[in-house]
Amino acid sequence: MVAGEQGISKRTPFDEYRQQSRGGKGIITIKTSDKVGSVVGALNVTDADEVMLNALQRHTVRTAR
Protein backbone atom coordinates (compact mmCIF):
# COMPACT_ATOMS: atom_id res chain seq x y z
CA MET A 1 0.00 0.00 0.00
CA VAL A 2 1.26 3.45 -0.93
CA ALA A 3 -0.11 6.71 0.51
CA GLY A 4 0.03 10.24 -0.89
CA GLU A 5 0.13 13.46 1.12
CA GLN A 6 -3.42 14.41 0.06
CA GLY A 7 -4.94 11.26 1.61
CA ILE A 8 -5.08 9.19 -1.58
CA SER A 9 -3.84 5.62 -1.17
CA LYS A 10 -3.44 2.60 -3.42
CA ARG A 11 -3.19 -1.10 -2.61
CA THR A 12 -1.49 -3.22 -5.26
CA PRO A 13 -0.85 -6.99 -4.97
CA PHE A 14 2.80 -8.01 -5.29
CA ASP A 15 2.02 -10.37 -8.17
CA GLU A 16 1.06 -7.37 -10.35
CA TYR A 17 4.70 -6.20 -10.30
CA ARG A 18 6.96 -7.71 -12.92
CA GLN A 19 10.41 -8.93 -12.03
CA GLN A 20 13.21 -6.80 -13.41
CA SER A 21 16.79 -7.56 -14.16
CA ARG A 22 19.77 -5.33 -13.57
CA GLY A 23 19.44 -2.07 -15.46
CA GLY A 24 15.64 -2.00 -15.23
CA LYS A 25 14.01 1.43 -15.24
CA GLY A 26 11.70 0.79 -12.27
CA ILE A 27 7.94 0.51 -11.92
CA ILE A 28 5.51 3.36 -11.25
CA THR A 29 3.17 2.38 -8.41
CA ILE A 30 1.28 5.67 -8.08
CA LYS A 31 1.47 8.77 -10.22
CA THR A 32 2.01 11.93 -8.22
CA SER A 33 -0.16 14.94 -9.06
CA ASP A 34 -1.87 17.85 -7.31
CA LYS A 35 -4.66 15.45 -6.31
CA VAL A 36 -2.32 12.80 -4.85
CA GLY A 37 0.65 14.91 -3.74
CA SER A 38 4.00 13.35 -2.94
CA VAL A 39 4.28 9.79 -1.67
CA VAL A 40 4.52 9.90 2.13
CA GLY A 41 4.54 6.22 3.03
CA ALA A 42 4.48 2.62 1.90
CA LEU A 43 3.46 -0.48 3.85
CA ASN A 44 3.31 -4.21 3.24
CA VAL A 45 -0.31 -5.11 4.08
CA THR A 46 -2.53 -8.17 3.65
CA ASP A 47 -6.19 -8.47 2.64
CA ALA A 48 -7.13 -8.80 6.32
CA ASP A 49 -5.47 -5.47 7.27
CA GLU A 50 -7.40 -2.25 7.72
CA VAL A 51 -5.38 0.96 7.63
CA MET A 52 -6.37 4.40 8.90
CA LEU A 53 -4.62 7.53 7.60
CA ASN A 54 -4.81 10.72 9.66
CA ALA A 55 -4.20 14.04 7.92
CA LEU A 56 -3.33 17.40 9.46
CA GLN A 57 -6.57 18.86 8.08
CA ARG A 58 -8.55 16.62 10.52
CA HIS A 59 -9.45 14.10 7.83
CA THR A 60 -9.35 10.38 8.53
CA VAL A 61 -9.26 7.88 5.68
CA ARG A 62 -9.97 4.20 6.34
CA THR A 63 -8.92 1.63 3.78
CA ALA A 64 -10.08 -1.96 3.72
CA ARG A 65 -10.27 -4.53 0.99
Neighbours of 42 (CB within 10 A): 13
Mapping DSSP to helix (H, G, I), strand (E, B) and coil, where does residue 7 land? coil
Rounded average pLDDT over 49-64: 73
More confident residue, 55 or 14: 14
Q: How confident is the model at residue 65 (pLDDT cuts 50, 70, 90)?
A: low
Answer whether residue 1 shows pLDDT above 70. yes
Query: What are the residue ranges spanned by the domains of the chain?
Result: 1-20+29-65
